[in-house]
Structure formats: structure tokens, C-alpha cells
């Protein structure tokens, strides 16, 4: 399929995706990043614009459950995919267990990196895998935080993973 | 917004080859983690993009009938890191894959994109070179299969003809069978960094002698290189500490590192010797050998 931009007129494409559980149909400009569309057109401002070159992780969203940097991902590529932003994590005004863990561990200071870190941690929790301390650090290594020194963030992620594991253990067979 | 004038999103390889044949000036985009960053920095202005993202057949990792491991060019670094076949047969490639970038980048960046960029720091390149990998290139007229050493033409330059796409990476059975391997990436940070130097070693050990040894280096010359003199020296030799030290000294010989803000030429030469020694020692261990004395 070709989307062409003739004589300075921006080429457009119809995009169907699911954002935070809701079906979205939107006409986008092929030049837009997924970050542009989520922030500026759909007003999901929890998706932060940081470095714009995939270094800082502030723009992280889950794409079919997998963390990606939305600043270096073409919006056109999200066609048919399921996108989760931080706005889709709390349900009915109630924080998710991962968000609770970040609060409990004091893993938040200015908050700019927090949406991305909560989403990457959510992806780990939902994978159902177990992670060693080093693996948790590795899975969070695509996020820059200039406030906390990371220690409390790693502790929050480990707490969330531990809680999820014990929730599975206690569930009726 | 990116400065893109058109976007082609074919769903089959055949369709992609046809489009590229008709529009040879298109810029091929795979995971986008390099191309889009370059665009963000102002290069490739007004480019037309040929996106390979929708071509599912290019993501496959499979074992061919003759024991060749075939890795689709669009396989992501995360997929390569986690893939059962890769972990079983070429764990050193899994080790190299997980050293690249950070998780979000690995989730979209592809091995084909990593190679086609021609970056000498590509974490997959030195490892694939050490594994004697072959590259399958196709255009509308046909296909050709070339060794890694013929692919790199210079810094940031690769030998892709008009309308030609990298389709898969082939690692023949002789490239990996019975081999222990180790990839060491040396960088300032443990994640989200570009290698100051990369050393990939694979070896086969018999009666504590080197039956075979292959060393690939990244950022040691304008393109990824092999250390053929060191490899020839090792062949048949008993594995001792002195032997491994000599191999590491010989590994510096084919290098032509440059001084950049990351490291000086002298420092890189020092890194090659030290890291080659460590990588060989670990590869030997993983191949079931020992070089304790």
C-alpha cells in the first residue's frame, strides 16, 4: 500500500487502533510519530516527550503489551495494534498494583519518567516471567530518571513482581 | 514530525521487491530506530520510505534441512535474544543481541537493519562474522548469498545493489556446531550505549587443543573485521595461558582503530588485546576446555 505526499501536501492514512481498551479511528499524517498522535491528537499527555531520539524512555507505551519508544515509531505502524498509555493503567479510578508499588516505595519524584517506568514494569508483571535483580535492572535500563538514583524504582518494580507472584500462588486452583 | 514524502508498506517480500525495483531511491526502513533518529537529526530530508514492518515472512527464525540456522532480517533483537533455536545453537548471538540498546529499542530494532546500516559498532555484526554467517540478498531479478566479509564496503556503507534487500542471515552448521562463544561489548554504560569496542569469539576444543577459533572485532577498523592470523595461529595448538595471550596479541594486528571522542587509538588497541584474551578464555570454557595454566 502506498501513501504519497505530492507537491507538499501531507500524505494521510486512516489508522485503526485500540488505545486503552477503546477503538480509535483517526486520519493521520504519515509524517507523525506515534507520540505525536497520542499526545497532540488524542490528548494522552501522560505519554511524555523527552529526548525524541529513543534514549530516555519517557515516551514509552505498550504496543500489543510490549514497551516501545513512541517517539521513534511511525504512527502509521500502529494500525491494527493495541496501545496502552499510562492513562489506561488505573481502572475505575483505582491505581494498578504496579502504580501502588511505586507509591509505596517512594519511587516517584518529579514524575516525568514515571509513566514509562510504570508501563515497562507492567509489561514485566504481565509477562508472568520471574526476573532476577539484574534482569529487573536490565528491563528498566531504557529509562532515564534524573531524580531518584533508580534504587527506589528498582525496589518498586521488584515489589510489584513479588506481589503479582504471591497473588498467583494464592489464587484458587 | 518526520520529513517523509511517501511511505510504502508492502505486506509481502515480492511486493517489496517490485516497489524497490520501480523506486530504487527509496530509503528502506526496518525497525526505524536508526532511520527515524537520523531524520530527527535532520538527515534524509524529504525521503520516501519503503517500510518492511508488515512483511511477517521476514521475521522468521528457523532451522533449515541442512542444519543452517536462518534468521529473518526483520527479526527483532528481543526475538533473537529470546528465541529457543538461537539460545540452543548460537547462544553467543543471543548474548550480543541483548547487549544492544535498551529493552524498548530491542523490541523494535531488527538484525537486518543493524547490518544494513553499516555501522562498525553493530553488536550483531562482529558476532555473525565470527560465526561465518552468510547474507541472503534479493531483488526482483534474483538472489545472491554472500559472506559477511563481502558485505561491508566502508564506514556506513554496505554492498547492496539497486533494488536489493537483505532477506535473511544464514548461519551454516559448520559455523556454530560444537562451538563455545563469548561476546564482550565494551562501553561507558551497561545499557543504551554504543560499543567502544566489541569482541566476538567462537571456538571448538578437542583434547584441550583449539580445533577451531574465530574472532570478530567491532569498532577496531572502519568495518567489522576478523582476526585471521590469530585464528590460524590457534589452530591445533594446546590451550595454555601463554597461547591465549599470544592469540590476543595477534588479534590486534589486523585492527586499524581510530581516535574518537569515545576512545583513543592506543586505548582501543589495549582493549582489543585485553578483551580478546578474556573472550577467548570464556569461549574455551564454554566449549568445554580449560586454559587455567
For residue range A54-83, list pLDDT tens digits in order: 999 999 999 999 999 999 999 999 999 999
- Asked whether residue A13 carries a pLDDT value surpassing 80, the answer given is yes
**Is the same domain home to A138 and A73?**
no
Domain that holds residue A81: 2-88
Residue B291 lies in a domain: no
- pLDDT band of residue B291 (cuts 50, 70, 90) is confident
The answer to whether B259 faces chain A, any CB pair under 8 Å, is: no
**Is the same domain home to A18 and A84?**
yes
**Is the same domain home to B152 and B257?**
no
CATH of the domain at A23: 3.10.20.30
- pLDDT band of residue A3 (cuts 50, 70, 90) is low
Give how many domains chain A has, as a whole number: 2
Give how many domains chain B has, as a whole number: 3
**Is the same domain home to A8 and A73?**
yes
Only one residue has cell 541472503, namely B136
Q: In the listed set A88, A105, A126, which residue is the last one of a domain according to the structure?
A: A88
Q: Structure pTM?
A: 0.95
Query: For residue A116, what is the nearest residue in chain B, using CA coordinates?
Result: B104
Out of B8, B11, B104, the one facing A142 most closely (by C-beta) is B104
| Interchain pair B7, A76: CB under 8 A | yes
Residue B113 lies in a domain: yes
| Gap between the Cα atoms of A170 and A167, Å rounded | 5
ipTM: 0.94
Average pLDDT score, chain A: 94
**Is the same domain home to B114 and B162?**
yes
Residue A62 lies in a domain: yes
The answer to whether B45 faces chain A, any CB pair under 8 Å, is: no
**Is the same domain home to A71 and A118?**
no
Domain that holds residue B26: 4-51
| Gap between the Cα atoms of A109 and A113, Å rounded | 9
Mean pLDDT calculated for residue range B70-84: 98
Strand-strand pairing, B4-8 and B47-51: parallel
User: pLDDT value at position B258?
Assistant: 94
CATH of the domain at B127: 3.30.465.10
Residue B20, all three cell numbers? 524497490
Residues of A with CB under 8 A from a CB of B: 1-5, 11, 13, 29-33, 36, 52-55, 57, 60, 66-69, 71-74, 76-77, 120, 138-143
| Interchain pair B36, A29: CB under 8 A | no
| Interchain pair A54, B105: CB under 8 A | yes
DSSP string, B26-50: PEEESS-TTHHHHHHTT-STTEEEE
DSSP string, A63-114: ETTEEEEGGGSBGGGGTT-EEE-GGGTSBTTB--HHHHHHHHTT--SS-SSH
Closest CA to B122 of B18, B44, B30, B13: B30
**Is the same domain home to B80 and B64?**
yes
| Gap between the Cα atoms of B77 and B89, Å rounded | 16
- pLDDT band of residue B286 (cuts 50, 70, 90) is very high
Amino acid at each position: 500500500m502506498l501513501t504519497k505526499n505530492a507537491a507538499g501536501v501531507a500524505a494521510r492514512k486512516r489508522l485503526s487502533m485500540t488505545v486503552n481498551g477503546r477503538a480509535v479511528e483517526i486520519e493521520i499524517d504519515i509524517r507523525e510519530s506515534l507520540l505525536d498522535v497520542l499526545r497532540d491528537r488524542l490528548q494522552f499527555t501522560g505519554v511524555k516527550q523527552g529526548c525524541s531520539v529513543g534514549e530516555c524512555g519517557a515516551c514509552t507505551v505498550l504496543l500489543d503489551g510490549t514497551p516501545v519508544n513512541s517517539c521513534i515509531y511511525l504512527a502509521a505502524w500502529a494500525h491494527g495494534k493495541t496501545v496502552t498509555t499510562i492513562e489506561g493503567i488505573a481502572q475505575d479510578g483505582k491505581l494498578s498494583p504496579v502504580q501502588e508499588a511505586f507509591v509505596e516505595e517512594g519511587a516517584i519524584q518529579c514524575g516525568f519518567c514515571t509513566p514509562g517506568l510504570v508501563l515497562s514494569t507492567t509489561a514485566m508483571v504481565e509477562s508472568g516471567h520471574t526476573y532476577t535483580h539484574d534482569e529487573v535492572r536490565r528491563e528498566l535500563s531504557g529509562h532515564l530518571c534524573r531524580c531518584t538514583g533508580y534504587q527506589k524504582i528498582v525496589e518498586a518494580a521488584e515489589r510489584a513482581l513479588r506481589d503479582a507472584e504471591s497473588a498467583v500462588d494464592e489464587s484458587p486452583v | 514530525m518526520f520529513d517523509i514524502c511517501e511511505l510504502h508498506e508492502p505486506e509481502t517480500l515480492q511486493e517489496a521487491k517490485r516497489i524497490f525495483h520501480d523506486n530504487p531511491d527509496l530509503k528502506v526502513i526496518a525497525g526505524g530506530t536508526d532511520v527515524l533518529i537520523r531524520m530527527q537529526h535532520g538527515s534524509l530530508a524529504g525521503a520516501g520510505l519503503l517500510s518492511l514492518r508488515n512483511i511477517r515472512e521476514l521475521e522468521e527464525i528457523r532451522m533449515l534441512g541442512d542444519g543452517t540456522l536462518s534468521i529473518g532480517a526483520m527479526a527483532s533483537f528481543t526475538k533473537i535474544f529470546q528465541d529457543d533455536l538461537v539460545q540452543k545453537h548460537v547462544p553467543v548471538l543471543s548474548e550480543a543481541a541483548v547487549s544492544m540498546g535498551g529493552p524498548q529499542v530491542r523490541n523494535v530494532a531488527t538484525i537486518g537493519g543493524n547490518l544494513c546500516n553499516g555501522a562498525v559498532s553493530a553488536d550483531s555484526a562482529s558476532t555473525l562474522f565470527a560465526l561465518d554467517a552468510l547474507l541472503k540478498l534479493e531483488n526482483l531479478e534474483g538472489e545472491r548469498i554472500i559472506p559477511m566479509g563481502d558485505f561491508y564496503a566502508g564506514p556506513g556503507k554496505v554492498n547492496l545493489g539497486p533494488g536489493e534487500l537483505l532477506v535473511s542471515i544464514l548461519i551454516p552448521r559448520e559455523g556454530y556446531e560444537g562451538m563455545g562463544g563469548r561476546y564482550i561489548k565494551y562501553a561507558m554504560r551497561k545499557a543504551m550505549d554504543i560499543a567502544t569496542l566489541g569482541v566476538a569469539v567462537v571456538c571448538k576444543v578437542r583434547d584441550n587443543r583449539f580445533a577451531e577459533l574465530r574472532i570478530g572485532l567491532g569498532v577496531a577498523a572502519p568495518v567489522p573485521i576478523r582476526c585471521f592470523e590469530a585464528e590460524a595461529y590457534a589452530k591445533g595448538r594446546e590451550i595454555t595461558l601463554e597461547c591465549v595471550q599470544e592469540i590476543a596479541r595477534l588479534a590486534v594486528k589486523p585492527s586499524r582503530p581510530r581516535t574518537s571522542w569515545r576512545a583513543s587509538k592506543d586505548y582501543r588497541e589495549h582493549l582489543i588485546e585485553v578483551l580478546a584474551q578474556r573472550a577467548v578464555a570464556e569461549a574455551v570454557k564454554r566449549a568445554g576446555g580449560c586454559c587455567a595454566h
